Amino acid sequence: MGGPDFPSMRGRELLRHLQRQPLSYTEGPSKGSGGSHRLLTSDQFPTLLFAFHDGAEIPPGLVRKIFTKDIGLTKDEALKHLRGDLQWPRS
């Protein structure tokens, strides 16, 4: 589903990618008492419910889904963001 282009990664690594520009997600309050469900908000992108523990391994297909379906980036934009060279806003 994710293809070889998208890497698997740990929850803390995914969170760092989401917090980096241009996505610039910030953590809101935790949902419930477990603390693993965090609300992430961004000025330009949809709000996300981040439900991963820091050490949880997230498979490539789910990484792709988060960046393309949940956030709305194209596949190319998502891969550029993961490499650290996404230019925003779109031209």
Q: Is residue 27 part of a domain?
A: yes
For residue 81, how many other CB atoms are within 10 A of its CB?
21
Number of folded domains in the chain? 1
63 occurs within a structural domain: yes
In a domain, 90, yes or no: no
Distance separating alpha carbons of residues 19 and 33, to the nearest angstrom: 23
Determine the structural domain holding residue 50 and report its residue range: 9-80
Task: Output the domain CATH number for residue 26.
Answer: 3.30.920
1 found inside a domain: no
Q: Is residue 58 part of a domain?
A: yes
Is pTM beyond 0.75 here?
yes
DSSP string, 59-88: -HHHHHHIIIIIS---HHHHHHHHHT---S
CB neighbour class for 32 (10 Å; exposed up to 12, middle 13-18, buried from 19): exposed
For 8-55, write each residue's pLDDT tens digit.
999 999 999 999 999 999 998 666 655 668 899 999 999 999 988 889
